[in-house]
Amino acid sequence: MRIFKFGGASVKDAAGIKNVHSVLQQVGYEDVLLVVSAMGKTTNALELVIKNYFEKSKELNASIQEIKKYHNQILLDLFEDDKNAVFTAVNKHFLDLEYFLSSNKSPNYNFVYDQVVSMGEIISTTILSHYFNHVGIKNHWVDVRNFIKTDNTYRDAIVDWDTTQKTISKNIKRKVLNITQGFLGSDENNFTTTLGREGSDYTAAIFAYCLNAESVTIWKDVPGVLNADPRYFENTTLLNQISYREAIELAFYGASVIHPKTLQPLQSKEIPLYVKSFLNPLLPGTSIAKGSHLEPETSCFIVKKNQLLLSLSSIDFSFIMEENISEIFALFHKYKIKVSLIQNTAISFSVCIEDKFGNFGELKNILAKKFKIFYNENVSLYTIRHFTDKAISMVEKDKTVLVKQMSRETMQIVTQE
């Protein structure tokens, strides 16, 4: 079986869905499982719904109606007859969303988040499945929440691999086209969980691992993995092939083309990963596999925006020792703070962090009881793999460098724009 993952950009409108159909016609769809994200910016729109819900905003209903309107237009563009069963199916999902918001009693933001944002993937795959049936491609719609089982760490759930393996290997149909949702799972009480933003790549890897898949292909609007994000860098280079190790390094440092958790299950079973263009599906793209090397050999650039540079120093000028660092990292773990760079001296300790869950304010108050605190907001963290003097100069140009750190293969630079 082959696993294909299509992200939100590939199904953002009716033309995108028709293009996915075209891709499958060209590359084949027998014994394929499609993992599909929410359409376009639907997840962002659902996050606004959640914000309005918790703020008890008068805009709550309007924000839901905007999402309905967006999806309804796609339906009208795809189906000639508005009596098609897909209209009823999609409307039911919106009714489920509205019922949850009207009946929910939980004040837990992360729990509510997962129950609400999941509707983006459920609706997108419902539309895709009905459209494929409409144009003659029979398929099996799969609710991923019945297959990927997790703990109840809402918004960043941990997979229960044993249960997931048994469920997927026993119940996924072979020799047909399966369509399922990225990003989602469910806990032991069958409440929806999510695997972290951009987690659809990880979903594809989970299915590949459990099904001993032939390969995974991530379909993007770029020709493959580039050596830098074209939004921030000019003259990017296509990487034809990458080793698992190099890809894991790039993903760890924040390369947006691959989700950080995706590579490990694939590497463990030596399942190749391809990153290809849904605009030119017959081009080779980038292959990530065992034994590959970085080709062409070039510097790779990764940038993470909206980071925090936090520096802690002892109040009494005593050394920052192992027990202090251990305590600090325990707090980072508790408050779900992602650490991307560490640097310490005798009496100070600096980290570049990402406050994905908005917990820094609370953490800062706790740390201030034991340490002097200095921090810079909205800094950028640049990581250069296989750096050269020219690459370093290009990154540093017209920026204030706050921290610079170098190892054998990697340089990291924290800048204030």
**Dist CA 127 CA 93 (whole Å):** 11
Rounded to an integer, what distance in angstroms lies between the CA atom of residue 337 and that of residue 307?
A: 11
Residue in 183, 391, 239 with CA at minimum distance from that of residue 303: 391
Of 281, 304, 300, nearest to 238 by C-alpha is 300
| DSSP secondary structure, 52-64, as one string | HHHTT-TTHHHHH
Tokens encoding 219: 């379909």
Q: Given strand 338-344, what is the order of strands in its sheet?
A: 338-344, 348-354, 300-314, 371-385, 410-416, 400-406
Q: Which residues contact 385 (CB under 8 A, 6 or more apart)?
A: 246, 249, 250, 253, 299, 300, 302, 409, 410
Q: What is the DSSP letter of 269?
A: T
Binding residues for substrate: 121
Numbered residues of the known binding site: 121, 231
Q: Where are the alpha helices (H) located in 172-235, listed in sequence order? A: 200-211
Residues in the chain: 417
Residue type for 121, please? E
Binding residues for ATP: 231
